Structure 1
């Protein structure tokens, strides 16, 4: 089948971001689910599509591309979407790029770390070791720091992470914020701008609930044994 194919797992934050971009812009695509929990990304067959063995990946009529930032940038330029997603104006685009460069060692790194350590579905199941409270405390401290940066730097004078309208930066940002949320972490405690931002982004994405169905399932599992963190 020709056309655009998306290889993804909704457990993956970057995959959710690309999924929501396509859905929000009514770009037709053939869904190609890859079950990370079953190790389908490690198969020889999948490695032919993604040498890194990661999601997301797109195949656009034979043009294969990995890495969510590259994918979102490409899709924004290649398909006819509203300019606010990835502005043509050099300065406005640079603000989007600035956030996307920061996020790798910011919210993505530390939000994922808290999720991996605390979530019963990943650690300690992978290592058969109990949760290390010191390691978790350090990860949470780092997460608090980057959440403050989102509140006090990116959202200080902006409605969205890179300006006054939603962009591909926000798709990546909201998906990373939802990862620690999945294990009951209150990402917006004491951060009114971040709390309002989360609701603002959700309001712009009708496909948000569909994309985050796995996040809500994990959160339900996590919160069952105890009332909170």
Structure 2
């Protein structure tokens, strides 16, 4: 059985959990509370020396980075759907998105959420509106690319089926929507609903903590204020 170290506030953690739950993979869940600094403890750093979540331990094998963890699970455990295609070109398309994701979507969703939510709620710092505006602008550009490049030829990021690419992306976009970011691209909004339905009922379960967090800051669930 896999040991998974996560915090539900973390979008990459939720991506890993969504894969495990929807594919019915057995695992042991270990909560690492970011708000309490547990990810920086010496004990946890023996598992993930970077002090981040998620992390995976399979027997004596430890793995960090959500994209690598998603691929490891998809290739080492039986999958109920074709989330990581065996066809070489189809798999390469998924890998292409996962590589692009980290320095484009993740970079700006993570920063937007940090400056808009984490600094205020966890660190008790004032919101840096300039940083929020900067990353919102960059994120708008990336979402435009999602609509006009990644979703141009099919209903999902890598073609006609839901894959790891969709799971990795959607948790990030839901995170910033929860924080008040408005997605205006209809193609992306339609894709969000398509993926939400494909991952039901686990999708909504995975995002309850985000809804609670935003309610604390007078956000309205997953809707833009």
Short-chain TM bin = over 0.9
Q: Deviations over 1:36-70 (max 9, x none)?
A: 11011111111111111111111112221111111
Q: Deviations over 1:61-106 (max 9, x none)?
A: 2221111111111111111114621111111001101110111111
TM-score, normalization by structure 2: 0.92
Q: Give the counterpart of 2:193 among 193, 196, 199.
A: 199
Provide closer, same or farther for how the CA distance between residues 47 and 157 of structure 1 changes in structure 2, counting only shifts above 3 A. same
TM superposition shift of 1:168? 0.7
1:172-211 aligned within 5 A = 172-187=168-183, 189=184, 191-205=185-199, 206-211=201-206
Segments ≥4 residues shifted beyond 6 Å: none
Task: Single out whichever of 131-140 and 208-217 deviates more from structure 2.
Answer: 131-140
The question of whether the paired residues in 2 share the 8 Å contact of 1:14 and 1:175 is answered with yes
Provide closer, same or farther for how the CA distance between residues 224 and 166 of structure 1 changes in structure 2, counting only shifts above 3 A. closer
1:171 maps to 2:167: yes
TM-score, normalization by structure 1: 0.91
Could you say which residue in structure 2 is the equivalent of 1:45? 43
RMSD in angstroms over aligned alpha carbons?
Answer: 1.8
Q: Give the counterpart of 2:84 among 80, 83, 86.
A: 86
- Structure 2 unaligned segments of length 5 or more: list them: none
The question of whether the paired residues in 2 share the 8 Å contact of 1:115 and 1:183 is answered with yes
CA–CA distance in structure 1, aligned partners of residues 80 and 24 of structure 2: 12
Task: Single out whichever of 125-134 and 22-31 deviates more from structure 2.
Answer: 125-134
1:1-229 aligned within 5 A = 3-82=1-80, 84-119=82-117, 122-124=118-120, 129-187=125-183, 189=184, 191-205=185-199, 206-223=201-218, 229=225
The question of whether the paired residues in 1 share the 8 Å contact of 2:179 and 2:219 is answered with no
CA–CA distance in structure 1, aligned partners of residues 24 and 224 of structure 2: 38
CA–CA distance in structure 1, aligned partners of residues 218 and 157 of structure 2: 29
CA–CA distance in structure 1, aligned partners of residues 193 and 121 of structure 2: 33
SS at structure 2 position matched to 1:80: coil
